[in-house]
């Protein structure tokens, strides 16, 4: 589907403070000043190695009892786990095939030096992940009390500042910002000490219908339990977007002309889609 590699945000570097971190597609390993990517499935017979969201030291395959140490070295077999590398950006995000811009969102995260991994949520949908990203870019559906009644009450659209760059859009509100890195990644920063990284995983990259998602949460110790609860209402808002995307059963088509200024980021996503997706 894609004409070139797609940019990814895999996690925040603090997720590796206590060991390797398991994602649906990779196991992340901190090796000195870089992050290495291990296969998520055993290279022997493709059995899954651990569950997404786990933090592990040594790596184990339950099918044939094969083992690797923390750094992916085989202990009782000859199968290689290392399959690539990722970078740690100035933002302290673990990134792959993405160049961070000189922007406020990077410096905001660069100044967050005490974040700790907390937990994750996940789910799945039969809807279109392309429509989902379009909805994520769309502020018009919040305006006039669209599919987000609670968000409509909490956020005044006239207070949101919009910016965009090569393959990303940024929406800043009084208590933080939302960032979308096309086509799979949504990042929310809730002011001091609160970060969430959401990523979509298509079941088949060549088919827009059917995907899972994973949202990782990071906090510093100063954030209260109540503030965490408020921040995590973003997951409920995201699920409303997921539900909306599942109702759009026609194949995705990019927006060519907007009816309102709040659709400007949909236009930007549409331009990215036309340049980067084989149609």
Residue 193 lies in a domain: yes
* pLDDT per residue as tens, the chain (279 positions): 888 899 999 999 999 999 999 999 999 999 988 999 999 999 999 999 999 999 999 999 999 999 999 999 999 999 999 999 999 999 999 999 999 999 999 999 999 999 999 999 999 999 999 999 999 999 888 776 677 766 656 667 678 899 999 999 999 988 899 999 999 999 999 988 999 999 999 999 899 999 999 999 999 999 999 999 989 988 988 999 999 999 999 999 999 998 888 899 999 999 999 999 987
Residue 1 lies in a domain: no
The pLDDT, as a whole number, for residue 191 is 83
Range of the domain at 29: 8-88
- Is 138 in contact with 263 (CB distance < 8 Å)? yes
* SS3 assignment, position 88: strand
Span 88-132, pLDDT tens digits: 999 999 999 999 999 999 999 999 999 999 999 999 999 999 999
**What backbone torsions phi and psi does residue 61 show, to the nearest 5 degrees?**
-110, 120
CATH number at residue 22: 2.102.10.10
Residue 104 lies in a domain: no
Structurally, the chain folds into a number of domains equal to 2
Residue 161 lies in a domain: yes
Verify that 27 and 116 share a domain, yes or no. Answer: no
Verify that 157 and 39 share a domain, yes or no. Answer: no
> Tokens 């002309």 belong to which residue?
257
Among residues 42, 58, 88, which one ends one of the domains? Answer: 88
Verify that 58 and 134 share a domain, yes or no. Answer: no
By the 10 Å C-beta count (0-12 exposed, 13-18 middle, 19+ buried), 160 is classed as middle
Verify that 245 and 171 share a domain, yes or no. Answer: yes
Contacts 24+ apart (CB under 8 A), 65-71: 66/42, 68/38, 70/19, 70/20, 70/29, 71/29, 71/31
CATH number at residue 239: 3.90.380.10
> Tokens 């990782």 belong to which residue?
216
């Amino acid at each position: 589907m894609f004409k070139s590699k797609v940019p990814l945000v895999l996690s925040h570097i603090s997720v590796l403070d206590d060991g390797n971190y398991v994602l649906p597609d990779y196991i992340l390993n901190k090796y000195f000043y870089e992050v290495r990517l291990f296969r998520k499935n055993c290279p022997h017979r493709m059995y899954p190695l651990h569950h997404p969201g786990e933090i592990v030291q040594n790596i184990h395959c339950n099918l044939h009892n094969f083992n690797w140490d923390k750094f992916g070295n085989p202990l009782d077999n000859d199968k290689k786990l290392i399959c690539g590398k990722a970078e740690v950006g100035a933002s302290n995000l673990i990134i792959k095939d993405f160049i961070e811009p000189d922007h406020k969102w990077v410096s905001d995260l660069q100044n967050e030096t005490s974040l700790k991994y907390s937990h994750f949520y996940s789910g799945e949908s039969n809807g279109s992940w392309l429509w989902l990203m379009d909805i994520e870019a769309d502020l018009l559906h919040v305006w006039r009390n669209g599919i987000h009644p609670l968000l409509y009450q909490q956020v005044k659209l006239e207070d949101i500042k919009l910016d965009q760059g090569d393959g990303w859009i940024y929406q800043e509100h009084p208590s933080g910002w939302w960032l979308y890195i096309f086509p799979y990644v949504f990042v929310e920063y809730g002011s001091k000490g609160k970060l969430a990284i959401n990523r979509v995983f298509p079941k088949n990259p060549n088919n827009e219908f059917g995907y899972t998602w994973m949202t990782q949460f990071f906090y510093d110790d100063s954030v209260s339990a109540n503030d965490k609860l408020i921040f995590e209402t973003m997951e409920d808002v995201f699920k409303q977007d997921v539900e909306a995307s599942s109702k759009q059963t026609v194949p995705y088509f990019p927006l060519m002309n907007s009816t309102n200024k709040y659709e400007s980021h949909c236009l930007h996503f549409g331009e990215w889609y036309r340049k980067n997706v084989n149609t």
